[in-house]
Structure 1
């Protein structure tokens, strides 16, 4: 079997893998990095967001290529149809699948046994960040990690916002948008502390002088590394899976990788390994490699999410605009996305209000869709060891890795949180107008948010309740790091990508320090030291 050598092996090409690659290359330009991705490259620039593809057919093609074993378009269904499918036990891939993703459960039998039926992955260069909504709110008080100092975390969040080009000006200011903010402010601002008021959603987006939007994917984080034909010592291999990590005496020596189209296998020798292939497949790879700390796959968390859709009442629209939009007009203003931040105890929820053009969920409308807003609200889910991913010793998934199944239950505390969130949502909906028939208040199936967390969670001690330390270094291994939403150790309600990128920024400091102290493959024991972290 052919052997290859690299300084750093990164498994996964999403925003976390891209963050590690970018920061390592900036600090240590001569470092050799190999990044591998199980799925195909969708665009010339590695990891570009598919919303930047102008041609509709090409964009759909890119979405389908990302769907793993489900290489065909999903039927368009409403939010209510999706939720009712779970409530009635009528589960199917077509009802639960969303463009650019594929369900972890591969058939109806698995879906019936899955307590997180909508759990999904994106299998492509860029991962799910080639398809995401780009929402980047900062976590609120109880969502923050208690054992990372606030000043330190804020610095990491600021760096993450810079990498992701986060802005609150992605959409132009409009009278209707201002009216939406005022309605929300009148309802919620008294409950919110200073700095956590109703505001435009921070979005990962670049706008030019014409106001045209370029949605941020891992390509933006990677910079020149994402360009086709990049000639430096960074290599991105698509359609290449990591089958197993090789380990010896608390040290990962390399990995077995396979090019899926050809079946060609190679052994990679690496100084340092970073596994960042989402919150589901990161623990899957560790488990397949015999790296099985007690907490691996456990404490699985996702915020319950409730959706409804409201048609703005006439007096609100007429007062702010003076007339209804002309449906044939191509120049009408876009409302955008708005945020009511999590702020415990006054508002222990995360609420976002979306114009339908930027909503990831379909809704039928019988009038002008520019008058419909989606009200989404999420609440904290109690974190429990019992909620987990289970990996099979005997069965495999479509790609030949250990098959996953899910244990995930709502507690009484969770149900009380959901009931309170519904009351808040009803209050907001009444202020805006009328809930439309196809968009009644609905608790979405578990997994719908695509924000699975905590499966390789960080902690302060190797006591069985965590997988890695506060710098994402896996307990018991001097050169193995994990990244992504799986490292988040506390329940959250907000979109987690910004926080996960910030944790990767912080972790990169330790990675860079280790690489500086390890000048050759033979000097692996230097990883056992404790170099200072800037």
Structure 2
């Protein structure tokens, strides 16, 4: 069995790579080790009617789809770090927020024109729109309330770009792998890839768990920020930078009871607003009505959704070579990511900012005051980072090709070499499409 190109992993980043390759007329197959957990396979779980009716049940409803490395680990060992093996990967579970990275988050590997071109391509593939909830009365009133003060502080607030669309006022369609691959004819085959086979540095195939070898001329590993370095390590591909320079963004979460004059009608569209990182406030903030996993306390247990919004703040952790994901020969994974003085100071400022925003909009809902989510749960990056030279600080070149190999590419947020405050999915997808173009050009 021979196929010209294999993509390992069926999440949204693997899907955009496969689509790009297929659009160029090249044959491509996606290999996925996990089962389908949605219908149709690769569609977003949150499109199910029950979660549309009761969005606050969502995180509890998908909890069994996360496999944690060590939930009992201390904070510096990232007890929230987890993986999902499923058709569509964690892309069938994500919240679909797709902001572009700010200028300070992009680094120097791509020109401004390249960033614009590839971010635009990623937005098209993912179905990103920035005006989905423009009809929300709460959204406009919050914009009017917060806009002037934020502008005076050198910040802005605008609609949050999202991968999806409104079906009707009560139904949001969340885009996932099924949508990205629609009409392409790309097949997702069930296969547990154990290692990538290289012959004199060139890709020769992949070996599956059942002992089968699948020959191929090119492999793109899109197994996530954790699964990708694990597969490289298992394949004997162990560059110095593998698992080093890990970064992520701790998430601060709260829910507000809005001032009465900000509330909309009971059938008002949910707001989804974004306060991008700024030099004076380098964290990413969303003000939205999405999902609340935390039970409220009296007297705020029974409140209509039209009076509520959440604040989610994503506070970036600095890049550091000693922020590590260590993989042993028996497959054990250990993390060591200390929060340093600058990280803690930034987190304290993020907390103060949430209190200030809450004071401008209303008050915290009892029982849902600001709290940090389990460290490592959201958006780990940098585990197999890209770079301009093979100097021991990166795993791939600036196009995502593993140093010292031919036609072995990585497509994951793990290649992002900078510290991001924004959700990294769009950035990772843009870099992955660029990698696909490089593969096709070779």
* TM-score normalized by the length of structure 1: 0.77
Partner of 1:7: 4
Secondary structure at the counterpart of residue 393 of structure 1: coil
Superposed CA deviations along residues 97-130 of structure 1, whole A, max 9, x for unmatched, are 935322122x74xx35971000111210001110
Indicate the structure (1 or 2) with the bigger Cα radius of gyration.
Answer: 1
Q: 1:75 to 1:42 in 2, by over 3 A?
A: closer
Contact 1:299–1:455 under 8 Å retained in 2 = yes
2:335 is aligned with 1:338: no
The question of 1:420 aligning with 2:332 is answered no
2:138 to 164, 167, 176: 176
Match of 1:309 in 2: 255
Structure 1 residue 221 displacement after superposition: 1.3
**Distance in 1 between the 2:293 and 2:419 partners?**
24
Pick closer, same or farther for the CA change 1:167–1:363 going to 2, 3 Å. Answer: farther
Q: Secondary structure at the match of 1:255?
A: strand
- Residue 368 of structure 1 and its aligned partner are, at CA, apart by 2.2
Q: Select the residue among 159, 163, 176 that pairs with 1:217.
A: 176
The match for 2:202 is 251
The answer to whether the Cα contact below 8 Å between 1:458 and 1:489 also exists between their aligned partners in 2 is yes
Question: Shift of residue 212 of structure 1?
Answer: 4.5
Give the secondary-structure state (helix, strand or coil) at the position aligned to 2:139. Answer: helix
Q: Does 1:54 align with 2:49?
A: yes
Of 278, 291, 295, which aligns to 1:359? Answer: 291
Report matched runs for 1:109-508 at 5 Å: 111-112=73-74, 115-192=77-154, 197-208=156-167, 212-225=171-184, 230=185, 234-238=186-190, 240-258=191-209, 264-317=210-263, 321=264, 325=265, 332-343=267-278, 345-355=279-289, 358-359=290-291, 361-364=293-296, 365-366=300-301, 367-394=303-330, 402-449=331-378, 451-508=379-436
- 3-state SS, counterpart of residue 4 of structure 2: strand
Matches of 1:247 and 1:411, distance apart in 2: 39
Deviation at 1:34, TM superposition (A): 2.3
Q: Structure 1 388/360 Cα, relative in aligned 2: closer, same or farther at 3 Å?
A: farther
SS for the counterpart of 2:351 is helix
Q: Tell me which of 31, 34, 50 is aligned to 2:29.
A: 34
Cα distance in 2 between the residues matched to 1:202 and 1:9:
30
Structure 2 Cα separation of the partners of residues 53 and 221 of structure 1: 18
Partner of 2:69: 104
Q: Contact 1:307–1:374 at 8 Å: present in 2 too? A: yes
Shift of 1:211: 7.8
**Matches of 1:133 and 1:487 in 2, distance apart?**
21
How do 1:74-85 and structure 2 match up within 5 A?
Answer: none
**Which residue of structure 2 aligns with residue 519 of structure 1?**
none
Contact 2:384 2:415 in 1 (8 A): yes
Task: Classify the secondary structure of the residue corresponding to 2:367.
Answer: helix
Cα offset for 1:378?
Answer: 1.9
Q: Secondary structure at the match of 1:504?
A: helix
In structure 1, how many angstroms separate the alpha carbons of the residues matched to 2:159 and 2:51? Answer: 28
Q: Provide closer, same or farther for how the CA distance between residues 75 and 374 of structure 1 changes in structure 2, counting only shifts above 3 A.
A: closer
Q: Indicate how the Cα distance of structure 1 residues 213 and 440 shifts in structure 2: closer, same or farther if over 3 A, else same.
A: closer
Contact 1:342–1:348, Cα closer than 8 Å, also in 2? yes
- The change in CA–CA distance for 1:448 and 1:113 in structure 2 (over 3 A counts) is closer
Deviations 1:497-522 (Å, cap 9, x if unpaired)? Answer: 011111011111111112xxxxxxxx
Aligned residue for 1:300, secondary structure, equals coil
The Cα RMSD (Å) is 2.4
Residue 403 of structure 1: how far off its partner (Å): 1.9
SS in 2 for 1:163: helix
How far has the Cα of 1:409 moved from its partner? 0.8
Relative distance call for 1:8 and 1:152 in structure 2 (3 A) is same
TM-score normalised by L of structure 2: 0.92
Q: Is the 8 A contact 1:187 1:428 kept in 2?
A: no
Aligned length: 435
Stretches (4+) displaced over 4 A? 208-212
The alpha-carbon deviation at position 457 of structure 1 amounts to: 0.4
Which stretches in structure 2 are left out of the alignment for 5+ residues?
Answer: none
